[in-house]
Amino acid sequence: MSKGKIVSIHSFRGGTGKSNTTANLAAQVALAGKRVGVVDTDIQSPGIHVLFGLDENKMGKTLNDFLHGKCTIGEVAFNIGEKAADADGRAKLSGMNLWLFPSSIRGREISQILREGYDVNLLNQGFQGMLKELDLDYLFIDTHPGLNEETLLSIAISDILVIILRPDDQDFQGTAVTVDIARSLDVPNLLLMVNKALPKYNAADIKQTVEENFKASVAGVLPLSFDMAENASQDIFSLRFPDHEWSKALRGVSQSILEIK
């Protein structure tokens, strides 16, 4: 069995910037010389492939094919380091060891898996296979918001769980439940990340409030940014704009992940 770490990125509600954060964290960790996989388990509404420049034409086998027993997990791996150097930010990933395991974006295949369901245990075997076959140091799982079965599985098998929340009441409430679940499942490392913090708030204050409420460490407070909203969906923002405040705070989070033994 591999010694690679599973890092699940979760948020209780949608719109927290979860896929973006996952892609950027994975890219930063790959840039630090690690062997990294990214898997999109948001089967209902996949999105992370766009950030890595993958479209329907380029996409080969998907996680859906694996879950339907049509291929091995190794066949799903898409090598970003070799193929995705087509945007300013992503170009920096050339030669890095980074693989994406995409979910299908074909409507028919999405509705099929939602209708028929799949074996959650098979998904777990998939994760273990990814770690082993590519000898990964880190496997980042972009989860579906909420706490459905595949998300609970991702949390259960995580070595590191990163929960993303915005500083508002609804995210606070949902995060509280997720934190309780993570503790109940004995997740060894729990990190919180605050995203889309309004610039008028003091980042240190937010960090303190969130840490006091959840008794968990906040790895970063990332600002709400129009630059981010404008550029985020086409490229890996922290690679394209490394000096941006958002990027600096994100590197703080990736550093926290790298420091966990």
Tokens of 90: 């992503």
Task: Please report, as residue ranges, which positions from 189 to 228 form the binding site for other proteins (by CB under 8 A).
Answer: 200-202, 205-206, 209, 213
Kindly give the pairing relationship between strand 98-101 and strand 217-223: unpaired
Q: Measured from the CB atom, is 108 or 200 closer to other proteins?
A: 200
Burial of 57 (0-12, 13-18, 19+ CB in 10 A): exposed
Residue 184 engages other proteins in binding (rule: CB under 8 A):
yes
Binding mask 148-167 for other proteins (x = CB under 8 A): -x--xx--xx---------x
Does residue 171 contact residue 42 with C-beta atoms inside 8 Å?
A: no
Chosen residue from 32, 85, 87, 185 binding other proteins by CB under 8 A: 185
Strand partners, 21: none
Establish if 82 lies at the interface with other proteins (CB under 8 A). no
User: How many residues sit in the footprint of other proteins (CB under 8 A)?
Assistant: 30
Q: List the one residue from 172, 224, 227, 248 that touches other proteins (CB under 8 A).
A: 172
The binder of other proteins chosen from 111, 173, 217, 233 (CB under 8 A)? 173
Q: Rule CB under 8 A: which of 100-139 touch other proteins?
A: 121, 124
Closest distance of CB 69 from other proteins, Å? 21
Helix (H, G, I), strand (E, B) or coil at 148: coil
Least spacing, CB of residue 1 vs other proteins, in Å: 5
Task: Give φ, ψ of 27 to 5 degrees.
Answer: -65, -45
Q: Shortest Cβ distance from residue 111 to other proteins (Å)? A: 23
Cα separations in angstroms, 43 against 40, 94, 242:
7, 27, 30
Binder to other proteins among 147, 203, 224, 258 (CB under 8 A)?
A: 147
Nearest to 44 by CA among 59, 61, 28, 64: 64
CB 205 to other proteins: min, Å: 6
Residue 1 found at the interface with other proteins (CB under 8 A): yes
Strand order of the sheet with strand 189-197? 78-79, 98-101, 36-40, 138-142, 5-10, 160-165, 189-197, 217-223
Distances 112 to 70, 101, 115 between C-alpha atoms, Å: 14, 19, 5
Enumerate binding residues for other proteins (CB under 8 A).
1, 3, 121, 124, 147, 149, 152-153, 156-157, 167-169, 172-173, 176-177, 180-181, 184-186, 188, 200-202, 205-206, 209, 213
